[in-house]
Structures are given as C-alpha cells and as structure tokens.
Amino acid sequence: MNRSPRRRAWAAIAYAAMVLCATALFFVIRSLGETPVGPAQATSRVAPAGPASDALQHLLVTLTAVVIAGRLLGRLLRRMGQPPVLGEVIAGVMLGPSLLGAVSPEAYRFVLAPEVVPYLGIVSQLGVVFYMFLVGVELNPDLMRGQLHVTVATSHASILVPFVLGSALALFLYPRFASPDVPFTSFALFIGIAMSITAFPVLARILSDLKLTKTDLGTVALTCAAVDDVTAWCLLALVVGVVEASTGMAVVATVLTLAFILLMFAVVRPGIGKALRASDEAEPGHGRIALAVVGMMAAALTTEAIGVHALFGAFLFGAVIPHDSRLAHALTRGFEGFVKILLLPAFFAFAGMRTEIGLLSGVDAWVACGLIVLVATAGKFGGTLVAARAGGLRWQSAAALGVLMNTRGLMQLIVLNVGLDLGVITPTLFTMMVVMALVTTIATTPALQMLLRRGFVPDLR
C-alpha cells in the first residue's frame, strides 16, 4: 500500500467530511423527530423490577470502604504479629454501628446505606458458600489419616468439652439473652456449637507466621483443627435441622443428612476420582470448572432442601474433590481471588453491620460477655490440654495445642450469622459472641509466643 503525503491529506479530509456529515445528519434527524408527536403508550409495558437503580452504586461504596479498611487494618495487625484476616473482621465491626455508626451516623449511612443491606447480604452469602466450597476443596484427608489415632480423640475432646460447657452456660444465657420463642434445646445446641468452633484457616496462618507448620506441634494442631472443622460442620448441620424442624422432622433431617454424606463419599467421590484420573492429563477448561460449580450448587441446594444449611453441601462437595488434582488447583486459582478479595470482605461488612457493641450496655451484659469468653476458652483450652496430655503429649506441648485450638475467627462468624438468620440468638448475644471470637483469636499469638519464649521446643513430646 503506497501512502504519499498527498493521499494522506485526502484521507484526513475524507475522514473529517465523514464525521461532519454524520453529525449534521444526526441534527437533521433530531429536528425531524422533535415534533410534538409523543410516543404511543399502547405497547409500552413496565419492565420487570430490577434492583433500585442506585443499589450497585451503594454496593460499590460499601465494598470499596470495607476492602480498603480491611487491608489497612490487616497491615497494621500484621506488624503487631496478628493474622491479617483479623484486620478485615475488625474493619467490618468498625464500619458498623459499633464505631462508625456511633461516631458519625451520616458517614455510616453513606458507607452502609439501608437499601444496600439485602444486596450486601446476598453477595456475602454467595461469597461464604464459595468460601466453604474452597475450604472443602483444600481439605487434605491424608493429613487427617496420618495421625488419626492421637488426634481424633484430642479433637473430639476439644469439641465436646466446650460444647458441654457452652450448653451449661446456655442455662444462664437463655432467660436473659435468647430470642423469644426459641426452645431451650435449639438454643443450648447452638451455644454449644458456637463455643466449639476452631478456625482452620486462621490457625494455619498463625502457624506459618510463627514457622511452626512443619513441626510436630504444627502437624497435630492442623490435623486437630481439620477434624474439628469437619465435626463442627456436621454438628451444625444437625443443629440447623433441629432448629428448623420439629423433633420428628429433625430425625428425618438427620437420617437424610447421613444418607447424603454417605452418598457423597461412597458414590460421588469415587466417581469424581475416576473421571479425574481419566482426564487429569489436560488442564481443566471452563467447561469442567463450570461442571464442578454446578455440582457444588446442586449439593448446596440439596442440603438446604433437607433442612441443613446450604454451606454444608458446598463444603461437602468441595471435600469430595481430591485436593491435589488439577481440578482442585484450577478451582482454587480461579475462584480464590474473587472470593477472598471481594466477597469475604463483603461478608465481614455484613457481619460487622450486625454487631453492635452499644447493645452491651450495663454491667450485666459485660459480665455475660466475659463469662462467654471465659467458658469458651476454658472449654477449648482445657479440653484440648487434658486430652492431648492423656494422648501422650508433654504438658507444654499440650498447652500450646490448647492455645492454638482456641483460635476462632471467620468460621465462628459464619456460624453466628447462621444463628442470627435462624433467629436462635439475638443481636445482643450475636455481639457478645463476636467479641468472644475476636478476643480468643487475638489472644492466640501472644499466648503462643509466651510459651515459645519459655524455651518450649515444639518438636519434643
């Protein structure tokens, strides 16, 4: 193509002429159309109602605020030797009515407009479903098998002791802070569960920050936490079944849940394994990832239909995908970013919005809050300590394990939100339990460092 300067000039002129002609034509058309003949209204119908037009804007404001605040606070806490995820949780609480709402109601209404609440809720629910799916995908059953004989007992002790202590505490809390119309059984079961949660991901993060992951203590702690997670989620599934259904229905729900778990591990897991072995050479494309997502959503819907929470199905479907397959890596790589960077902060904002430190007014409330922290710690730390010592660990190692298992965090918040949604706990009790989760998580690192400074060697028994 030869392109002399002259030809170039002609091209420029032609281009300018084209743009000018088009503009002129548009204005002619415009003047023709601006006649007083309005549009006919016969065929116009009201469009199906979408979200309020500024819902997206409000949602973006909330997400921006909570992501920024969470990151900044996470950095700050990291310097103080705390796990960064704690920063995101605290950022959510600070942007809620507890701090921002108390200091500047206008700023609070700007960051968390009332009309955004249901949208923020659905986005964070979707995020938590995917998060639990990823937790399931990353679950390493080999880790659990390796030292199963020591750790299952320790782990179950670290669930049962706080569970029993928690339900005993429910005797005190029930007449004071329970939702009206909640039967005691549901309430006690729920408080018991809420006390027994250990936050596997936060625990893993703390261990890796303190360079303890590869030690004996680290392995045992991770195994215990993984067993804890699986057990606690199964228990929560049952509790939700009990809360949502009558006693007769609860039995049906329990049977169906067990049948579903059996189906997943006896049929779905080998099937997925077989399919993956047949095709694991190729990097999974969007089609196979979409299939896994559809399977996860179907499992979530099944458990929801049984009467157990959708989260349990999502977690279970993740758990039956082999954690070291290419599919698992592709799922983690493809979803982790969106879920952890955007959707979990949305969840923290949502949880923080429902946490209202102002509700803890009066000595009574703070005494109850302190009792909850004490009982939760005593149950988790004490239960683990005794069981681990009985299992053959040194006192110091057992104590370190007890401190680690007392870490709560994200998992705890998820459980608490389920309870608040079900109406088992009141906003006041929700706030107390959030305070408990924060205190026990914050206490973990310093307590562990204290043990380490005392010349405690994590590899010896």
Nearer to its own copies, 323 or 340 (CB): 340
Q: Which has the closest alpha carbon to 126: 339, 420, 415, 413?
A: 339
Applying the rule CB under 8 A, the residues between 155 and 184 that interact with its own copies are 156-157, 160-161, 163-164, 167-168, 170-171, 174-180, 182-184
Q: Which stretch binds its own copies (CB under 8 A): 225-233, 266-274, 289-297, 405-413?
A: 289-297
CB of 325 to its own copies, least distance (A): 16
How many angstroms separate the CA atoms of 396 and 75, rounded? Answer: 31
Q: Which stretch binds its own copies (CB under 8 A): 63-71, 137-145, 249-257, 319-327?
A: 63-71
Query: Cβ neighbours of residue 74 under 8 Å, at least 6 residues apart?
Result: 84, 85, 86, 87, 88, 91
Q: Is 192 in the site for its own copies (CB under 8 A)?
A: yes
Among 384, 426, 444, 445, binds its own copies (CB under 8 A): 426
Q: Which has the closest alpha carbon to 233: 300, 290, 294?
A: 300
Q: Which stretch binds its own copies (CB under 8 A): 149-157, 204-212, 221-229, 234-242?
A: 149-157
What are 425's strand-pairing partners?
178
CA dihedral defined by 257, 258, 264, 267, rounded to 10 degrees?
-130
Alpha helices (H) in 197-325, listed in sequence order: 200-209, 216-244, 247-263, 269-279, 286-306, 310-319
Nearer to its own copies, 271 or 423 (CB): 423
Q: Are 165 and 379 in contact (CB under 8 A)?
A: yes
Q: Is 32 in the site for its own copies (CB under 8 A)?
A: yes
CB of 288 to its own copies, least distance (A): 10
Among 249, 251, 301, 367, binds its own copies (CB under 8 A): 301
| DSSP assignments along 290-337, one per residue | HHHHHHHHHHHHHHHHHTS-HHHHHHHHHHTS-TTSHHHHHHHHHHHH
Nearer to its own copies, 272 or 424 (CB): 424
The DSSP H or E segment spanning 360 is: none
Identify residue 318 by its one-letter amino acid code.
G
Nearer to its own copies, 415 or 447 (CB): 415
Q: Which stretch binds its own copies (CB under 8 A): 53-61, 229-237, 272-280, 400-408?
A: 53-61
Q: Which stretch binds its own copies (CB under 8 A): 65-73, 201-209, 275-283, 449-457?
A: 65-73
CB of 78 to its own copies, least distance (A): 10
Applying the rule CB under 8 A, the residues between 222 and 281 that interact with its own copies are none
Query: How many chain residues touch its own copies (CB under 8 A)?
Result: 123
